[in-house]
Structures are given as structure tokens and as C-alpha cells.
Amino acid sequence: MELQRAIKKGIIFALIPDENGKLQSCRFTGTTVGLDGKMDETFRPSQAFIEGACDKFKDALKGTKMAVDRDNTGKIKEVYAYCSWSDLAPNKPLC
């Protein structure tokens, strides 16, 4: 419960599937603050947080096939996923 109250930011990740729907890449794309979702252009979580979150997404998607959507040029679109960041556990993604 204490950790939930300490959540300060939402961390946004872009997940990109390959042609077969397997997770090809995961990258940090931005941070939101509070419940209103305002962007925080100055905050970037630690590399340990980013790697931990991407590992969680890989584990969660293991054995599943992501939907492959394309833009009007044929490029595969990113899928956005979110994790919470807490100052009580700054290197532990809550996804």
C-alpha cells in the first residue's frame, strides 16, 4: 500500500513486433506525471528500470503473438505500454 501511494510517474514504452508478431524491440519513450497525464520532459528512469520493464514485457508476451498493424507506408506501428515509477523503488518497474 505504501508503494502505491509513492507512485509519482507513468513511464511509457514503445513495443515493436516483428513480421510474425514476436516482440522485436522495447524502448523508453516518455514520462507522465500524476493523474492528469501531463508529460514530464525532464525525467528519465534509470537504465535498470528500463531494462527491468522491457524484460517484464518480454516475459509477458512470450509464446503470444502481437497484432501487427502498419501505417500508410507499410511500416509496422509501435504499441505503447506503461509502467509506474515510485521513488520508494526507483529501479523496480510496476507493470
From residue 1, how far is each of 4, 5, 14 by CA, in Å?
5, 7, 28
Q: What are the residues whose beta carbons fall under 8 Å from the beta carbon of 45, sequence distance 6 or more?
A: 9, 11, 28, 31, 85, 90, 93
- The candidate with the shortest Cα–Cα distance to 59, out of 95, 84, 92, 30, is 95
Q: Please say if the pLDDT value at position 2 is more than 70.
A: no
Note the pLDDT tens digit of each residue in 15-69: 999 999 999 999 999 999 976 789 999 999 999 999 999 999 999 999 999 999 9
Q: Please say if the pLDDT value at position 77 is more than 70.
A: yes
pTM of the model: 0.89
Instruction: Sketch the domain layout of the chain as residue ranges.
Output: 2-86
Note the pLDDT tens digit of each residue in 52-65: 999 999 999 999 99
